[in-house]
Structure formats: C-alpha cells, structure tokens
Amino acid sequence: MLPDIANRLDNIPFAGIRKVFQRANELEAQGKKVIHFEIGRPDFDTPGHIKAAVKTALDNGHVHYAPNDGIPALREALAMRLKLDKKLNYNPQKEIMVTAGGQEALYLTFLSLLNEGDEVIIPNPCFGPFGLAIQLAGGVAVKTPLLPEQNFFYDLEAAKELLSPRTKAIIVNSPHNPTGGVLTAAQMKEVVDFACRHNLILISDEAYDKMLYDDSFVSPATFPGMKERTVICGTLSKTYAMTGWRIGYIAAPEHIIGAAVRLQQNIMLSLCTFAQHGAVAALTGPQECVEAMMSEFARRRKLVLEMLGQIPGLALTGSPGGAFYAFPKITLPGISSSQVTDYLLNHAGVAVVDGSAFGDGGNDHFRLSYAVSYEDCRIGLERIAKVMQMFAQRSL
C-alpha cells in the first residue's frame, strides 16, 4: 500500500459552501432554476479599463516572473490607496507585499507569526479559512462569541476569559463575513485597546473595506501607535469584481513583511505578472466603477432587508451595514437551520449557506449573499417566504 497523506490534513475539510454549490449545480443540470444566494463574490464583470491594462501588459511582454513581493508599481499603487482611503502611511518598498488574494495574505500572516501552540482569537461565526489557516500554521484558533445586537462585535468579556499566556493575536473583520456587520469607530477602539492591554497583534481582514452602506470604514491601524501592532490583509477581489485574478496584499511592519516575502519566495515565487499590471489600473484608475457596483448592491440590500423583515420565523438583528450578506436567525422552535437550508435548496431552488458552516456561533442562522440580480433577489426571497410559512405551520 502507498504511504498515506499527511496527518495535518485530518481536520481540514472542504468548505461547507462547496456542498451547496455542487448540489445547486446538480439541480440546474436537471433543468431547475436555482437562486444562488450562496456565492460570496460580486456578480459583476471586472471593469473594462482594468482588463485593457492586462491586454497591454501582455502585448508589452510582461509575461515573466515578478519580484517576490510584487511589481513596484503595484506596491506603490497600494501605498497610494492606503494613504488616500485610510490615511495610512506605508512604505511600498518595505511594508507592503502582493499576495494571491486576501486568502494567501492570511496564510502568509499566520505562517509568519505563529509558533506551534500559539493562540489566535477569532470571531465565531467567521470566514472559514481563519480557523483552518491558523491550524495549518500550527496555531490554535480560539473561537470567541460575537454580540448580534452590537453589529456582531466581539464579546470582549468572553474574549478576556479565553486569554492564555499563549494568546498572540486577535482577528477583526469589518465588514464581517458572514453577517455583514460593521464595527463603529468606538467598537474598533475597544478592540484596539484590548489588543494593546494584552499585548496582542491585531490582524485586520479588510476584504470588504469599500463595501459599506451607512458608515465609513475604520482600520485599526489608524489608531495611535497601532500601525506597529497591526497586520492588514486586503484584497482587490471584492472591490473591483476581481475574485478570479487572485490579487491581494499585506500591509504590516517591515519585519513581518520580510518574513512573509521569504515564505512567498518559497511557496508562490511570485504572482501573475500581467494580472498585477491590471491591478495597478484598478487602484490608480477611475473609481466610479466601484461606486456603480455599490449603488446596485445598495438597491438589492434595501429589497432584501425589507423582504426578510416580513418573513415569519426569521429575525435579523440590527441591519447588516457592509459586504453583501444578510445573516437571518431562524426563530421557529424545533426547526434547525440545516432543515431550512436543505429544504430551500432541494424543494424551493434557493441556495443559501447554513450558518453553522461558519462556526457554531452561526447555528440557527443562514447566510444569504445578495450578489445576484435584483430580480433573482426578489424571486429568491418570495420562495424563502413560502418555505418559512410552511415551517411556521409545522412548528405550531
């Protein structure tokens, strides 16, 4: 018998969302219309001027390896946007690197920072790869409850109880996947104070930094003295509808970038060179495309929140202020989120993700992503309303 695969993969499953996606595809192959509320990516095309820059880059022969930390023009463009959008000063030569999306930014961060057994406080529920990336880096993800009535902010009292001498970092992710919650400046300050008081590194996942509806974005790195303590993991994926391009970044103190670039040299070598030229055009070119996408998301969000608010057996705590997610709670006694999400998919043609796929803090919820057309939002929510009426009758 051939030697087996490594034990480190024992607890590394495929993401829960993948199963939903596969089943939705099967149903579509049978000719059924499925509303894809499960997908966590903008449904827009990448704007034309960004694609045009890649075509030019290809014509100009930008087809060879790039520097390990990314092409200088992209690091400079990232520094420019950090300054312009977040009032942060990062040195593009030493404090910024390009990564394969926000996801690789997270992996490089954990691999650079964690020793075996080091602990990281993560939100529960959260984007699944947080926990898995920490585990693969030899660390321990300490799932910490969130407070739905406070925009899904950390329960810092609970977080305090979970601290140990091995706690090294805490993650913030605002706007938050899967809930759409956005932290206020005051809440960000509280988590910043918590990190300082307990000498933790603050890892800020800023994947949705341009996707806010009411408030403005606050990065923890803007608080006095915090740039030295913060690792920003960012991405162009959501802002410019570029999920397939795999361009993200880390902005962090020089020694952390130095370590992550050493890893990058040994893992990816470098990122796709011509895609990086497209990314420069995204960051330095006209930003109206982002505004146009966000105003369409805002229109859908309004519809989704209005319709969800009228569905029996579902409750939204607060109103999700960012990203393109809603995270309603199922309030019918004796009815679980898996019963509802399975029924929705198999009998009503609506794909949503069971909240438990994001950690047990998501039990009794589902994530609905309104990255589908306005019309599909309406049809999908009408279907959800019918199914919930049926479950409401059943639970009487």
Ligand X SMILES: Cc1ncc(COP(=O)(O)O)c(C=O)c1O
Chain residues that interact with ligand X, rule: CB under 6 A: 40, 101-103, 127, 173, 177, 205, 207, 235, 237, 243, 248
C-beta of 86: minimal distance to ligand X in Å? Answer: 17
Nearer to ligand X, 207 or 353 (CB): 207
C-beta of 173: minimal distance to ligand X in Å? Answer: 5
C-beta of 40: minimal distance to ligand X in Å? Answer: 4
Nearer to ligand X, 123 or 380 (CB): 123
Residue 15 DSSP symbol: P
C-beta of 325: minimal distance to ligand X in Å? Answer: 9
C-beta of 53: minimal distance to ligand X in Å? Answer: 19
Give 316's contacts (C-beta < 8 A, 6+ positions apart): 305, 308, 309, 326, 327, 328, 329
Nearer to ligand X, 92 or 181 (CB): 181
Residue 138 DSSP symbol: T
d(CA 72, CA 93): 8
Cα distances from 176 to residues 166, 269, 317, in angstroms, run: 26, 31, 14
Nearer to ligand X, 173 or 219 (CB): 173
Which residues make beta-bridge pairs with 70? none
C-beta of 60: minimal distance to ligand X in Å? Answer: 26
Query: In degrees rounded to 5, what are phi and psi of residue 35?
Result: -90, 120
Nearer to ligand X, 209 or 348 (CB): 209
C-beta of 291: minimal distance to ligand X in Å? Answer: 21
State the angle between helix axes of 288-308 and 374-394 in degrees (0 to 180), rounded to the nearest 10: 20
Question: Hey, how many other C-beta atoms are within 10 angstroms of the C-beta on 307?
Answer: 17
C-beta of 233: minimal distance to ligand X in Å? Answer: 7
Give 273's contacts (C-beta < 8 A, 6+ positions apart): 57, 62, 63, 64, 65, 66, 71
Nearer to ligand X, 40 or 361 (CB): 40
Give 174's contacts (C-beta < 8 A, 6+ positions apart): 181, 182, 183, 188, 208, 217, 218, 322
Nearest of 383, 312, 299, 376 to residue 341 by alpha carbon: 383
Cα distances from 260 to residues 36, 100, 113, in angstroms, run: 36, 12, 9
Q: What is the 3-state secondary structure (H, E, C) of 142-182?
A: EEEEEEHHHCCEECHHHHHHHCCCCEEEEEECCCCCCCCCC
C-beta of 332: minimal distance to ligand X in Å? Answer: 28
Q: Which amino acid is at 120?
A: V
Q: Which residue has the tokens 């509280």?
A: 190
Nearer to ligand X, 133 or 195 (CB): 133
Nearer to ligand X, 227 or 367 (CB): 367
Nearer to ligand X, 37 or 127 (CB): 127
Question: Hey, how many other C-beta atoms are within 10 angstroms of the C-beta on 303?
Answer: 14
